[in-house]
Structure 1
């Protein structure tokens, strides 16, 4: 675990953009006050460390019933919230599941909390990257597995489903490219992709994360805890929309994850309060249609942030069901760790918590830019179609980054 004060950050910018579409406009002028960074080999419970770190800065995360009690515009110099990132590996570790292979971007922490105070004017963003003013230039795209290897992983999941080991597994692939120059403009282009509910860039010493996620991992606001799982993808055409609405395979896959999310929330909810507010709504992200549901509950009395994250991480839509069995299969099949992808990224403030699931997310370290993409595998999955779907999800990210 590392606990930084702002003046010790390194090569990438010393100011991180806050990653949450729900961030109130009155907080746009921010100054970093303090940060916490933790890696998977650091020991301890990352969610408890996060909770207690935020408590020391006055955020009411030991009792989420207090979130939203009041809406106060902080004075200059007062804490107004924190940008938070938690990795899928951290969630798997806390859940007691295998964390998978090492991250291909080990410089990126598995837990980050950046506490901000209100400022009277925006803090300039420092130059980033290896070469200061050198233009961004990514190299050749290098996938961590071939399409044939990806398809074979899908077949192995189908065999596991046939044996009754699992019902669904989300299989994620990865690719990367070397680069020259400043990565931040490219990451900001990525964050500007249409349809992103969680759009922004989070940075640290020698690393950065760019996010354009449409999916809510967990939100606490208005006295309810909400998650919005996304499952089911088609091209954003009239035909694609009709196919997604009519597909028994996609609907069954989606409903299975909605049930998983209902069970996850029930662990930390007031008895009888879990409900499905919306089921299988079709939304657009870039050139894709995706199916989304909304599941919510009233938090149990005294629920803290650590217990909430233990219940929902890693997100069910990027694991599968049953969650622990799916995580075991993921650790055995995926060629590299999930790194910055498939975790949570967003904002924790006195009046709301809003964390997106880090799908449609890229990470940069000192040498390479990394992208992950995948999809849920069921008995009805076609291996070649699943490989194509993952490529379609990665394509807008690669285009925004300028990677051919």
Structure 2
């Protein structure tokens, strides 16, 4: 899009810095210092390139077990966005279908520094009009259900134990999408509420799920798997569901294995199992898995071990990713990746579920769920719609 063309994210003034995980005490005094954006055509390993770029700005994240102190001056930290496609490349999985939002990079690293008098971000133009068109799905409900059936057949053959199947929808818009994207973070349970912006693109996140957190010498992940309506009956049903618990425990075991690759031997533990928590109008089951960070662990190896997240891939992870690449008609774009903050002594990345992306003229949303042998295709289609509904409703309100 041209700089002086129709209203879109490329032509808009600098937004407020509200990256998920940004230190609250620093938010009002940060300014962008530099950024790196990566796409597959650039070549190289995105995990190594992110670590190298950060080191070039004084953020040495090659030894996460080493204590570090946040400095009140100079470089504060960086926003880090890793798409599902970049995560798949890190682990050598098939790339899958093309992204429906090619304006977005597959990796973005934005370094921020403390500024005594940062230039205040401009708000939306007074009287600016917001319009959102109809959502168009990338597949029909029948095609989605058929994909669920195909996964069940693969499970029956013994190819996989579980595969997460995700759908996509897009809607045209006019006006400034950033206020609507920013409001996503206020949705109930949005632990990783926030935004990230670039030239011609923006991401708004309302995720409740921790992909990976590193603090105080421990690495933590909080997988979410299992969903029901947020009613008293829904909570009882979720707690009593053998299917949901089995699906959840599979992913907890996968995450234990992922963390074991970057942890001190014997230190992996499940701190909490199948805790029921609320996101908007849904109950979801969450567990907490943690471990002591191994000596010599750097950011690149941490990303390779945890991306893409097990709760949005399946088990075994590589086999699940192969089925995802074959079944889903469009790429996952900003969905099912990672977004958050990295800095001295602290890494906090949310899994980009409940996430919306904007390009110059369309909004994009992704939603899905984990498929096991006991999955009902029509119920899985309805669950994906229920996850996307609060995002769509808020965006329509403008």
Would the TM-score normalized by the shorter structure come out above 0.5?
yes
Shift of 1:122: 5.0
CA deviations 1:179-231 (Å, max 9, x no partner) are: 11111111112222111111111000000000000000000001100000000
- Work out the CA distance in 1 between the residues paired with 2:397 and 2:332: 20
Shift of 1:91: 0.7
Partner of 1:137: 131
Partner of 2:6: none
Partner of 1:30: 30
Shift of 1:69: 3.0
Partner of 2:48: 48
- Work out the CA distance in 2 between the residues paired with 1:194 and 1:219: 21
Once the two structures are superposed, the pairs formed by residues 4-403 of structure 1 within 5 Å of their partners are: 10-15=10-15, 17-21=17-21, 23-66=23-66, 68-72=67-71, 74-75=72-73, 78-121=74-117, 123-126=119-122, 134-402=128-396
**Secondary structure in structure 2 of the residue aligned to 1:117:** strand
**Secondary structure in structure 2 of the residue aligned to 1:106:** coil
- Work out the CA distance in 2 between the residues paired with 1:133 and 1:203: 22
- Distance change in 2, residues 1:13/1:282 (3 Å): farther
Partners of 2:141 and 2:381 within 8 A in 1: yes
CA deviations 1:51-91 (Å, max 9, x no partner) are: 0111111113011012x43343x22xx10000110000001
Shift of 1:99: 1.4
RMSD: 1.7
Shift of 1:19: 2.4
- Work out the CA distance in 2 between the residues paired with 1:313 and 1:132: 41
- Work out the CA distance in 1 between the residues paired with 2:26 and 2:171: 38
Partners of 2:79 and 2:341 within 8 A in 1: yes
Partners of 1:51 and 1:61 within 8 A in 2: yes
The farther-off stretch of 36-45 and 318-327 is 36-45
Please give the TM-score of this superposition, normalised by the length of structure 1.
0.93
Shift of 1:12: 4.2
Shift of 1:352: 0.6
Shift of 1:317: 0.2
CA deviations 1:218-271 (Å, max 9, x no partner) are: 000011000000000001110010011000000000000000000001111110
- Distance change in 2, residues 1:12/1:62 (3 Å): farther
Partners of 2:17 and 2:27 within 8 A in 1: no
Moved over 4 A (4+): none
Shift of 1:297: 0.8
- Distance change in 2, residues 1:290/1:47 (3 Å): same
Shift of 1:24: 3.9
- Work out the CA distance in 1 between the residues paired with 2:318 and 2:69: 38
**Secondary structure in structure 2 of the residue aligned to 1:157:** helix
Shift of 1:119: 2.0
Partners of 2:21 and 2:349 within 8 A in 1: no
**Secondary structure in structure 2 of the residue aligned to 1:355:** strand
- Distance change in 2, residues 1:118/1:196 (3 Å): same
Paired residues, number = 390
- Distance change in 2, residues 1:16/1:260 (3 Å): farther
**Secondary structure in structure 2 of the residue aligned to 1:64:** coil
- Work out the CA distance in 1 between the residues paired with 2:82 and 2:224: 19
- Distance change in 2, residues 1:125/1:139 (3 Å): same
Shift of 1:121: 4.0
**Secondary structure in structure 2 of the residue aligned to 1:41:** helix
